[in-house]
Structure 1
Amino acid sequence: MDAVLKIDTALTRRYSRHDLLMANAIGVIPLLQELIALEKNTKAEARLESVIKHQQILNRLLVASTQISSVAAELDCEGERAERLATYLDQYDTQRIRRLTLLSIVIGAATTVATTLIQSSDASKAVGIGGGVIGAGFGGLAAFSTNRTIHLTHQRNLLTDVWQQNQQSKVYPPFVWYVLNEKVFSNSNQYSVIHNIRQRWENFVLNDSSPEEQALYFGQGGNYKADDFHARANMLNQLQSSVRSINQDLHSLALALAAR
């Protein structure tokens, strides 16, 4: 694109580099050039052709927006599924803790009553010690979460390409992946969007995760615990926000086009 802009400065005078990169992403640079050339022609045929070119560009913008919505919807669906499965495991663990705590209380109360009724000192001590041990055992079990898991297979793992920082993706539309890989579309303009996303995952979600956990999140799937589902949902939601923000860049190009 840079070679084209050096030759055709009319584009750079009319549009910002940011908008031109977005135009390049959706493939409308040639249409913008033709539109500028037609504006210099005052004939009726040229004005009609200008309207046609303008509509073609708007159609490309609409297609790009639809692709963004499609990817964001898939990310949202995957994130919701992970959250639902995490909630199911959390509720199972909560019920388990409640049952164990109740058993501990019941055994403690029963032990107290039994030691009061038993006349023999030795028998009373034995019942008290046994009941205390059993009650403490149930209470101790309640302090630990269950290792219950749910097996989840990723037919289309939307996290993999971001984690691996791939230059090309078989999951994301080329337009969306181009924007996520282009530094100018990030807040800092120093690193790409997917680079920044991976950094956030490493610093705030994964917390020095093991190779096995990374294979679970970014591979073909496996047995997930509740915390694993929460982590997956968090990463999907962060990625969804970044994909949806591309609409702002499309909106900027649409405004520049409208101001011609």
Structure 2
Amino acid sequence: MSELFHDAAPNATRVAPPLPAPRTYPVQKPAQVYLFGTCVVDLFFPEAGLDAIRLLQREGIKVHFPQGQSCCGQPAYTSGYTEEARKVARAQLALFQEDWPVVVPSGSCAGMLREHYAELFKDEPELLKQARALAARTFELAEFLLHVCKVQLKDQGSPVKVALHTSCSARREMNTHLHGRALLAQLGQVERIDHDHESECCGFGGTFSVRMPDISGAMVADKTRALKESGAHQVISADCGCLMNINGAFEKQKEALRGQHLATFLWQRTGGRR
């Protein structure tokens, strides 16, 4: 979760962890990039991956999608299966050999590549070098559009109120909530509504939702209740694991409110058509 408790007392003070240090971004927009599509995008939200590609291509960037890519290894890593995660990560490292940026339409997966691959290969010098080089050129999609492409979006949609949900790990590790907010702020007809529990985990957490379903269910119930009470017409997120969990809860509750990936929302609001 995105906040830490210093003790378990009823009146414990909640202290947010420090934000990540500012990152240095390329001066020039690259001509070519890789897209790391993520397994959840591939299997459950393919339109988000396609719209991410379309957004990048509209910026004049050629997008490469290595066909051998699979999971980033995060579910195994966070479940304590380090060797299995290392095997998956090793396969991904071999796919991105050119010195192009790697753009990821998922905050949690981008964080795995950027923050945790080096830990996996700390005892393998050559792979550690590769992992650090990959981390330095890995960008979450919203971050890349905002700070590398420096996009200027022109809204072509009708007035709408949206709530932005950010993956808790992506918020901690990469400030992705700030990137998403900044992109939405460029859309003149879009009003972003703050909601209660905005900084809190939705309860998905990959295998956490399977290993601890009761706790996960209570967390997503809090999240969906806050989203409904916000008055937003739509939920936007840059992480498909969260969207799968939140939309599944809405469907079970027979609610009309749904979440959409930021890439698809931006593409549709700025005149993109499939």
TM-score normalised to the size of structure 2? 0.22
Normalized per residue, the structure richer in strand is: 2
- With CA pairs under 8 Å and 6+ residues apart, which has the higher RCO, 1 or 2? 1
TM-score normalised to the size of structure 1? 0.23
Larger Rg: 1
